[in-house]
């Protein structure tokens, strides 16, 4: 952890106490909310997203996810039967977990793809057009989106509750896998009104999150993302596949592959969560009933969208920053050897994206090679934006892991902060 020092005079003016603190403050400009906790003063960045304390709330606990793993934190809050609003931040992603006596009453997110309406569309409960109309109603009347959908008769209470359960389970399972970021727990105002839906048990969510993480690590060895496309083979289903209830969704997925479809297509067609669709497709591959669609020979390079160009540019800024820090430490040769081995490893999920790839003299990845490899992947049905984000995130984590071995603790911590600041522009 990097420690800085500031001076506060009796007039309330704040200034860096020494030259080493100024770069730390410069990395985190903005407006801050000041919390008094006994003899402590705690500052939280106010970005207008609800991460700071609301009227009547008090700060209870805060910390670094790298120092307090999410799985341990959630288990602690559940065991202590805590009630409050837990704000989680990781780069541009923000999640708000509402706790009631140690259980999870709701989870909110700043990402559109995580919102309840999107879940209902994906599960096939409402159409996108119907959702837009309900959102207009919700904005006009001040109702929640679920209430607006119920009022229009588009879903019933059972369907809404199932969607809320799936939303909470999926967002919770993702959040507990975070390896970095920050958390803040606020005590709620005395008159706080909890959602009318019953909270989900913390221990059940933790067990499900661990199970999903273990299973997904196996699935990703064969299915790199939900954009991967599968094609039915001529092999007939075995008696085990046809009779075992474990493969109910896989049997339905087998019918959807006519002749081929992506994992995301399967999820939409069957109105199931992407995790369940991924598991079903994995079972089809395991039984030889489907195969991954391979790239067409001599596929043209993928034409990057402006958004994808921006993503690659941001990651390359971070890669150059990492490269420069390693050079300053005199450890470039060992670092490059490790990166080359990672890029050439045929075992990891993004090998096809990294084929023939070599960082340039500044540490950046050549865009032309990335575009060429994306051409082959998009020909297989992969989504370019998803591949770029997931693959380059994984490469960044590997590089930072290496830096933890090569750099001293202070340099490594400062580098991690700078990289997170750079990645914040991916929003």
Instruction: Give 28-51 pLDDT, tens digit per residue.
Output: 777 888 888 778 888 887 776 667
**By three-state DSSP, how is residue 51 classified?**
coil
388-395, Cβ contacts within 8 angstroms, sequence gap of 24 or more = 388/308, 388/311, 388/312, 388/315, 389/311, 389/426, 390/224, 390/225, 390/350, 391/350, 391/353, 391/354, 392/311, 392/312, 392/315, 392/365, 394/348, 394/349, 394/350, 395/315, 395/342, 395/343, 395/350, 395/354
How many other C-beta atoms can be found within 10 angstroms of the C-beta atom of residue 356? 10
Which residues are registered as beta bridge partners of 339? none
Of 165-174, 257-266, 346-355, highest mean pLDDT:
165-174
Peptide bond into 259 cis (omega under 30): yes
Beta strands in 50-90 (DSSP E): 58-64, 84-90
Q: Could you read off the pLDDT of 67-104 as tens digits, one per residue? A: 999 999 999 999 999 999 999 988 778 899 999 999 99
Which pLDDT score, from 0 to 100, does residue 290 have?
A: 93
Quick one: pLDDT at residue 195? 83
Report the 3 state secondary structure along 282-341: HHHHHCCCEEECCCCCCCCCCCCCHHHHHHHHHHHHHHHHHHHHHHHCCCHHHHHHHHHH
> What tokens were used for 107?
């989870």
- Give the pTM: 0.64
Task: Give the pLDDT score at 24.
Answer: 76
Asked whether the predicted pLDDT for residue 296 surpasses 70, the reply is no
Supply the pLDDT for residue 427: 56
pLDDT of residue 364: 94
Q: Does residue 1 surpass a pLDDT of 60?
A: no
Residue 328 has pLDDT above 90, yes or no: yes
Distance between CA 184 and CA 84 in Å, rounded?
10
* Highest-scoring range by mean pLDDT, 123-127, 185-189, 307-311, 407-411: 185-189
Q: For residue 166, is pLDDT > 80?
A: yes
Q: What is the pLDDT of residue 134?
A: 87
DSSP 245: G
Share of the chain above pLDDT 70, in %: 96
> So what's the pLDDT on residue 90?
84
Tell me what pLDDT residue 211 has: 92
Of residues 427 and 346, more confidently modeled: 346
105: its two tokens = 């009453």
pLDDT in tens, 212-259: 989 988 998 888 777 788 999 999 999 999 999 889 999 999 988 878
Lowest mean pLDDT among 23-32, 153-162, 170-179, 198-207: 23-32
Ramachandran category for residue 356: left, alpha or beta (phi over 0 → left; psi -120 to 50 → alpha): left
Nearest by Cα to 227 from 370, 352, 399: 352
**pLDDT confidence of residue 19:** 79
Per-residue pLDDT band for 287 (boundaries 50, 70, 90) equals very high
pLDDT of res. 355: 86
Residue 230 contacts residue 260 (beta carbons within 8 Å)? yes
Compute φ and ψ for 261, nearest 5 degrees.
-165, 160
pLDDT category at 330 given cuts 50, 70, 90 is: very high
Of residues 83 and 398, the one with the higher pLDDT is 83
pLDDT band at residue 201 using 50, 70 and 90 as cut-offs:
very high
Residue 112 has pLDDT above 80, yes or no: no
**pLDDT value of residue 2:** 64
- In this prediction, residue 117 carries a pLDDT of 85
* Cα–Cα distance for residue pair 171/176, rounded to 1 Å: 9
Kindly report, residue by residue over 368-397, the tens digit of the pLDDT: 999 998 888 877 667 788 888 888 988 998
């Amino acid at each position: 952890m990097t420690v800085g020092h500031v001076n506060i005079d009796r007039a309330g003016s704040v200034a860096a106490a020494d030259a080493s603190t100024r770069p730390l403050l410069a990395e985190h400009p903005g407006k801050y909310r000041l919390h008094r906790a006994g003899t402590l003063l705690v500052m939280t960045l106010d970005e207008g997203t609800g991460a700071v304390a609301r009227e009547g709330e008090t700060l209870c606990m805060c910390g670094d996810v790298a120092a307090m793993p999410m799985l341990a934190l959630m288990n602690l809050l559940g065991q202590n039967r805590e009630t409050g609003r837990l704000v989680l931040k990781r780069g541009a992603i923000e999640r708000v977990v509402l706790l009631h006596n140690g259980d999870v009453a709701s989870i909110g997110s700043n990402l559109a793809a995580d919102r309840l309406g999107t879940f209902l569309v994906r599960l096939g409960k409402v159409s996108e057009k119907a959702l837009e109309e309900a959102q207009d109603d919700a904005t006009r009347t001040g109702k929640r989106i679920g209430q607006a959908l119920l009022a229009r008769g588009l879903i019933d209470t059972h369907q809404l509750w199932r969607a809320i359960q799936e939303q909470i389970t999926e967002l919770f399972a993702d959040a507990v896998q975070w390896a970095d970021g920050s958390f803040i727990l606020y005590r709620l105002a005395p008159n706080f009104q909890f959602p009318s839906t019953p909270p989900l048990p913390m221990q059940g969510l933790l067990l499900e999150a661990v199970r999903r993480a273990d299973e997904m690590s196996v699935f990703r060895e064969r299915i790199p993302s939900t954009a991967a496309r599968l094609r039915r083979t001529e092999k007939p289903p075995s008696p085990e596949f046809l009779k075992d209830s474990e493969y109910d969704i896989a049997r339905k997925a087998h019918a959807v592959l006519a002749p081929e479809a992506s994992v995301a297509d399967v999820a939409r067609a069957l109105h199931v969560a992407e995790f369940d669709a991924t598991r079903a497709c994995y079972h089809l591959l395991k039984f030889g009933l489907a195969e991954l669609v391979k790239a067409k020979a001599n596929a043209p390079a993928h034409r990057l969208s402006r958004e994808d160009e921006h993503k690659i540019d941001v990651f390359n800024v971070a890669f150059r920053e990492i490269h420069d820090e390693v050079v300053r430490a005199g450890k470039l040769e060992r670092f490059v050897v490790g990166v080359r081995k990672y890029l050439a490893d045929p075992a990891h999920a993004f090998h096809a994206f990294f084929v023939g790839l070599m960082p340039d003299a500044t540490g950046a990845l050549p865009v032309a090679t990335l575009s060429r490899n994306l051409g082959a992947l998009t020909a297989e049905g992969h989504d370019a934006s998803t591949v770029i984000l997931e693959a380059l995130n994984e490469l960044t984590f590997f590089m930072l892991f290496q830096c933890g071995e090569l750099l001293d603790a202070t340099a490594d911590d400062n580098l991690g902060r700078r990289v997170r600041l750079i990645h914040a522009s991916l929003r």
